[in-house]
Amino acid sequence: MNPVYAIVGLPLAAAAVLVLVPGYRTGAWLNVAASAATLAASLFLFVAEPEPTALFVIDALNIYLIVLTCFVGLTTSVFSASYIGHELQSGKLSPRSLRFYHAMYQGFMFTMLAALSANNLGVMWVAVEGATLTTVLMVSLYRTAESIEAAWKYFILCGVGIALALFGTILMYLAAQPVMGPGMAAMTWTELLRHMGSINADILNLAFVFLLVGYGTKVGLAPLHAWLPDAHAEGPTPISAVLSGLLLNVALYAVLRFKMLLAVNGEALSPGPLMMAMGLGSLLLAGFMLYRRRDIKRFFAYSSIEHMGIITFAFGIGGPLANFAGLLHMAMHSLTKSAIFYAVGHVAQATGTQSIDKIRGLTVSHPALGWGLLVGVLAIAGLPPFGIFMSEFLLVTTTFAREPLLAVPLVLGILIAFGALVLRLQQICFGEPSGEVRPIHGSLVPLYAHLALVLVAGIWLPGPLVAWFRTVAAILG
Amino acid sequence: MPDIAYDASHLLGAVVLLMSFALLYQRRLFSLLNVFTLQALALSAAAAWQGYAHGEPHLYVTALLTLTLKAIVMPLALHRIIVKLNIQRAIEPALSIGLTMVAGVSLVTLSILLVLPVTAEATALTRENLALSLSVVLLGLLMMISRRNAVSQVVGFMSIENGLILAAVGVAGMPLVVEMSVAFSVMVAFIVFGIFLFHIRERFDTLDMQEIESFRGEHR
């Protein structure tokens, strides 16, 4: 049997069951169990290597993203199980909204996995749209004025983005239809790839611009990033973790799929410069914005914009090395940023605030948590020996070799963001603890598991994994 | 050679675009909904005509979905929300009407200049339909920008979706899956919007987005 059906079907079935489960503890553990089962099913992909069907395709590019998504989905559900009970006790959430939350969590996993494995461009679009809807509902979960404003902004901006992406998809079909004839084939990615050479390049160019702007809104690329900090700051922290760690990757993956199509067609415009410009813009903008943030979740949301900018730039510059760096950075950023959000969630519960100015001396008051956050932030800032240092180092060296002029703003952006991160890190982690010190409930296992992976990847990448990344980097062109 | 199929679909597409312009200068919420209903009717007729002229029966389904959901269910539901929640009926545009119209005309020009040169190989009908639908999409965007009221933003969003359906209908043999999904997503979107409208009302006693915009969440 094709494992894809299990990967996509399990979260969907779990969502249907979770709607009916009344107790929040049962719901939380069912959520963990479903995520674990999905991860197990995703591991079978390595053995099965299924052939592409009309709906699903599994190739070297998405198999790694699917496994990554399932893994972070599992660890986040473990974190969520220990986090969400506290929200119930403090009266921020009702048991009913928790039931809804767990069902939506699995619904969100379903849409992301469907988007990642889709072979049909229309199905991929529907899945990304579904991911928008489920996350909008979760961002507004607390029903506070701020969370509803954030969800509204998110919905309006991403709704428009997704509409533009659909227009791009229609244009794609329009371009392919004279060559491939009407019908499903002209919407199927693997078929399109085969016929790309003879397709009218002008319409492709127009389509790609719409697709880049449309899906780029969901990646959080400047100047379309306005929804991202609000959505991250106002929703429940587990959702911030999966938004940053997974959803942004999925949207970028959609852009990459279309970039691969354009790369095959010799006459179409090269997507590289557009992606490089948007990536550098996001990096620089987010780097400067980091200094002015007062809310800790907003702060790390801007850091996500910065990193998505770096990744987009890497894929924009293209070539085996830069693509390798982009892929590695995607994985490392997912793991590190979700780990940071786990820590931030516990910090917010322990101190009762999200304001950076009021959080002091974490390493004194909560040593395990404080040092965990410290290590996470150092990793995301790009210090050795963590994985992000490796990918950034690779990217910077290739950029210097190929486009020396572009390397200047790249390095500048990374340094600016580094400065902001270290500055805030000192305030948060060191000094005298302020305010009342409450013990934290919940496990730090997901946080340290992610950090350990990032550390190992920074020191030693297994040979097969490197070979794997190389093949993917070669497909991306 | 006069070609009735071409002329009729051209006319219907143009009516959809015309209604987009009409949406831009409405000053009252109810008349806004009426104009939107007219646009949905024109779109539904355009879809049905394409289905008839090109012998593609699945387009009738699209036409029917558009007719029931967009021309009947949604305007009625929005109407109900406005009455129930006692929302202020007059629309305050963020840009003046004249300025909005000028911007609208330039957007249409832009989309024609953008689409016509690149689609030189496609049939005349496809090209013009695409130019029309891109104009509708852009005008919908303009409407969402130029209105502060949440209900008119919803209507703007739905008119963008109308433009997308017009584009999908105009391209020969576009698989049904996509059209169904558009209709479906609009429905879901509407539910979400509906929930939002209620909660916004609960929290703010206003549907003016400008007041909501003042929350930045940075002050906690």
pLDDT band at B61 (very low <50, low <70, confident <90, very high): confident
Whether the pLDDT of residue B181 is over 70: the answer is no
Q: Is residue A424 part of a domain?
A: yes
Beta bridge partners of residue A120, listed in sequence order: A188
Q: Do B144 and A160 touch (CB under 8 A)?
A: yes
State the pLDDT at residue A83.
86
Q: Is residue A360 part of a domain?
A: yes
Element (H, E) at A364: helix A362-365
Share of chain B above pLDDT 70, in %: 77
Q: Do B167 and A167 touch (CB under 8 A)?
A: yes
Token pair of A187, please? 């919407």
Element (H, E) at A194: helix A189-195
Q: Is residue A332 part of a domain?
A: yes
Minimal-distance CA residue of chain A relative to B130: A171
φ, ψ dihedrals at A141, nearest 5°:
-60, -40
Q: Do B144 and A156 touch (CB under 8 A)?
A: yes
Q: Is residue B220 part of a domain?
A: no
Chain B residues closer than 8 Å to A201 by CB: none
Whether the pLDDT of residue B157 is over 90: the answer is no
Q: Is residue B186 part of a domain?
A: yes
Assign 3-class secondary structure to A112-165: HHHHHHECEHHHHHHHHHHHHHHHHHHHCCCCCHHHHHHHHHHHHHHHHHHHHH
Q: Is residue B217 part of a domain?
A: no
Whether the pLDDT of residue B87 is over 80: the answer is no
CA dihedral (B155, A254, A191, B162) in degrees, to 10, reads 0
Q: Please state the separation of Cα A116 from the chain's center in Å.
A: 12
Q: Do B137 and A163 touch (CB under 8 A)?
A: yes
**Best interface-test mutation with A: which of B191, B203, B210, B214 has the largest number of A CBs within 10 A?**
B203
Q: Is the dihedral of CA B170, B173, B176, B177 positive or negative?
A: negative
pLDDT band at B219 (very low <50, low <70, confident <90, very high): very low
- State which residues form the domain around B205: 4-212
Chain B residues closer than 8 Å to A140 by CB: 196, 199
A295 three-class SS: strand
**Contact (Cβ atoms closer than 8 angstroms) between residue A406 and residue A280:** yes
pTM of the model: 0.90
The set of residues, in sequence order, having a beta carbon less than 8 Å from that of A96 and lying 6+ positions away, is none
Cα distance from B162 to chain A (closest Cα, Å)? 10
Stretches where chain A sits below pLDDT 50 are none
Q: Label residue A292 exposed, middle or buried (CB < 10 Å: 0-12, 13-18, 19+).
A: exposed
State the pLDDT at residue A266.
75
Token pair of B128, please? 């013009």
Beta bridge partners of residue B149, listed in sequence order: B208
Which residue did the predictor score with more confidence, A106 or B55? A106
The residue whose two tokens read 């969907």 is: A12
**Best interface-test mutation with A: which of B178, B203, B204, B219 has the largest number of A CBs within 10 A?**
B178
- State which residues form the domain around A354: 271-477
Q: Do A160 and B157 touch (CB under 8 A)?
A: yes
DSSP conformation letters of B156-218: HHHHHHHHHHHHHHHSTT--HHHHHHHHHHHHHHHHHHHHHHHHHHHHHS--BHHHHHT--S-
Cα distance from A394 to chain B (closest Cα, Å)? 36
Chain B residues closer than 8 Å to A353 by CB: 220
Q: Is residue A419 part of a domain?
A: yes
ipTM of the complex: 0.86
Which residue did the predictor score with more confidence, A245 or B207? A245
Q: Do B121 and A163 touch (CB under 8 A)?
A: no
Count of domains for chain B: 1
Q: Do B218 and A294 touch (CB under 8 A)?
A: yes
Distance CA A137, CA A133 (A): 6
Q: Is residue A300 part of a domain?
A: yes
Count of domains for chain A: 1
Residue ranges of alpha helices (H) inside A290-361 are 296-317, 319-351
Q: Is residue A282 part of a domain?
A: yes
Beta bridge partners of residue B93, listed in sequence order: B147
Q: Is residue A85 part of a domain?
A: no
**Best interface-test mutation with B: which of A100, A149, A158 has the largest number of B CBs within 10 A?**
A149
**Best interface-test mutation with A: which of B142, B185, B193, B198 has the largest number of A CBs within 10 A?**
B185
DSSP conformation letters of chain B: ---HHHHHHHHHHHHHHHHHHHHHT--BHHHHHHHHHHHHHHHHHHHHHHHHHHT-THHHHHHHHIIIIIIIIHHHHHHHHHHHHT---B--BSS-HHHHHHHHHHHHHHHHHHHHHHTTTS-HHHHHHHHHHHHHHHHHHHHHHHB-BHHHHHHHHHHHHHHHHHHHHHSTT--HHHHHHHHHHHHHHHHHHHHHHHHHHHHHS--BHHHHHT--S---
State the pLDDT at residue A184.
81
pLDDT band at B218 (very low <50, low <70, confident <90, very high): very low
Cα distance from B185 to chain A (closest Cα, Å)? 8
Q: Is residue B130 part of a domain?
A: yes
Which of these, A316, A451, A463, lies nearest to A395 by C-alpha position?
A316
Q: Do A149 and B215 touch (CB under 8 A)?
A: yes
Mean pLDDT of B8-37: 90
Q: Do B172 and A160 touch (CB under 8 A)?
A: no
Q: Is residue A290 part of a domain?
A: yes
Cα distance from A91 to chain B (closest Cα, Å)? 18
A224 three-class SS: coil
